[in-house]
Amino acid sequence: MSSNSDQRSSSKSKLNSRTATTTSISQSLTGLKRLASGAQFYWYLTLLSTLYSSILCILNSFIRGSNNEVTIGYYSMALSSILTTYLIIMRQTYKYKPLSVLIGQIWHLFQHLSTPNQSNRENQPTQGDTSSDSGTSAGTGVERHSQLNPKYSNNILRDENAQYLLFAFAHWLFASPSFGAINSSVLYSFTIYAFFHACHYTYTNIIPLVPNISKERKAQWTQVLQYIFRLNHERSRMVAANSEIFLVTYYITPLIKIVLRLISGRFWSAARGETTQFWFDFKSVILFFVTIIFLRARFLIDKYTRTQVQGYDANLLRVVASPMFPAPLRNTVLNFRQFWLSLAKMVSVI
């Protein structure tokens, strides 16, 4: 009798366990279907794709080289994921706006370019300036991007989502072996942003749907991700801004080589032959100016970029002002600094 009772109890326990498992999976699938009905879930998937392809691209660039076809393939995949991410955001932002808004944006851009003196406003806070808040949504994962409903700007080029979209698009156009080696450091800031956005979405929406896990374990996972997010959020924004600023240094050597080839006459022979070297030089010049324009825009609206640039500038002026610094070299450095300031103002488009 005792044995039969134990067997019945064990069978009932297994049945209850299977029922609970089935119920848990069913609830998870229902929740997943609910998430899949919104654009934010697909935005999350593109973040995961960005992380996957960016990490593989960066690793391959160190192991196989930046001109390896596999590396370039992952680079193109990463940029495609990034473009999809920002296209989803831009669609959610502007999909209900009338056509007149788009026409107005184009008219505003032409108006701005025809009156370059407006660029002198760079240090004045404007509607798109985020210097007084906790940081723009591109890297937080909890402000505008996490809701996918950011308020659109009167000037679309002051919308940082548009800035990152155009910046990624310019690099995606040249993500081909025909244009030579790629610069995987372009992906650093995008990878940082993708990680923190994905981290926030995971502990907010994904962890609660994991089946057959106790609430206590889910709470532990959530606390770990929240701790990582809160501990490194501000620091990661500074690192991302730094990585974007130092993108300019990548083009210094190629530009010097272009000048030397122009002087020696080898540049035009490469151009006539349409060699890979010519197309690499062409890409370097275009992306150099794209990067300058992008950083100028980031300086105007992002407090992290502005803080970093102003910090480097202050350090440079302090070193140059030292009595031990050679006077002839001081004038050269100051002239070089003035050249960069003039170039940045000249290419301002917001």
pLDDT digits (tens, 9 = 90+) for 198-229: 999 998 999 888 887 888 888 898 898 888 88
pLDDT of residue 49: 97
pLDDT digits (tens, 9 = 90+) for 73-103: 999 999 999 999 999 999 888 887 776 666 6
Looking at residue 75, its pLDDT comes to 98
Task: Calculate what percentage of the chain has a pLDDT beyond 70.
Answer: 75
Average pLDDT score over the chain: 81
The torsion angle over the Cα atoms of residues 156, 183, 261 and 178, rounded to 10 degrees, is: -90
With b for 16 or more beta-carbon neighbours within 10 A and e for fewer, the 38-51 pattern comes to eebbebbbbbebbb
In the chain, what is the greatest distance between 2 CA atoms, to the nearest angstrom?
104
* Distance separating alpha carbons of residues 194 and 197, to the nearest angstrom: 5
Of 245, 146, 236, give the one whose Cα is nearest residue 200.
146
Tokens 């505003």 correspond to: 108
Task: Flag whether the pTM goes above 0.85.
Answer: no
Rounded to whole angstroms, how far apart are CA atoms 74 and 81? 10
The structure tokens 């003039």 sit at 342
- The pLDDT score that the predictor gives to residue 11 is 56
What does the pLDDT look like over 103-151, one tens digit per residue? 666 666 666 666 654 444 444 444 444 433 333 344 433 344 444 544 5
The predicted structure's pLDDT at residue 82: 98
Nearest to 165 by CA among 294, 349, 299, 345: 294
Of 340 and 348, more confident: 340
Predicted confidence at residue 140, as pLDDT, reads 35
Residue listed under structure tokens 């926030």: 200
Q: What is the pLDDT of residue 129?
A: 45
Residues in the chain: 350
The pLDDT of residue 108 is 67
Q: Which residue has the higher pLDDT, 101 or 263?
A: 263
The 3-class secondary structure across 34-79, one letter per residue, is HHHCCHHHHHHHHHHHHHHHHHHHHHHHHHCCCCCHHHHHHHHHHH
Percent of the chain at pLDDT exceeding 90: 41
How far apart are alpha carbons 211 and 213 in whole angstroms?
A: 6
**82 compared with 336, residue with greater pLDDT:** 82
pLDDT digits (tens, 9 = 90+) for 162-198: 999 999 999 999 999 999 999 999 999 999 999 999 9
145 or 249, higher pLDDT = 249
171 burial (CB, 10 Å; 0-12 / 13-18 / 19+) is buried
The residue with tokens 């998430």 is: 35
Q: Which residues contact 278 (CB under 8 A, 6 or more apart)?
A: 267, 270, 271
31: left (phi over 0), alpha (psi -120 to 50) or beta: alpha
Closest CA to 157 of 196, 223, 110: 110
Which residues, 6+ apart, have CB-to-CB distance to 182 below 8 Å?
57, 61, 66, 67, 71, 72, 75, 174, 175
pLDDT of 154 strictly over 70: no
User: Domain boundaries in the chain?
Assistant: 11-110+155-238
pLDDT digit string, tens, across residues 39-59: 999 999 999 999 999 999 999
Question: What is residue 126's predicted lDDT score, i.e. its pLDDT?
Answer: 44
Spell out the alpha helix ranges (H) of the chain: 2-36, 39-63, 69-94, 99-114, 144-147, 160-173, 187-201, 215-245, 247-250, 252-264, 266-273, 276-301, 303-320, 327-346
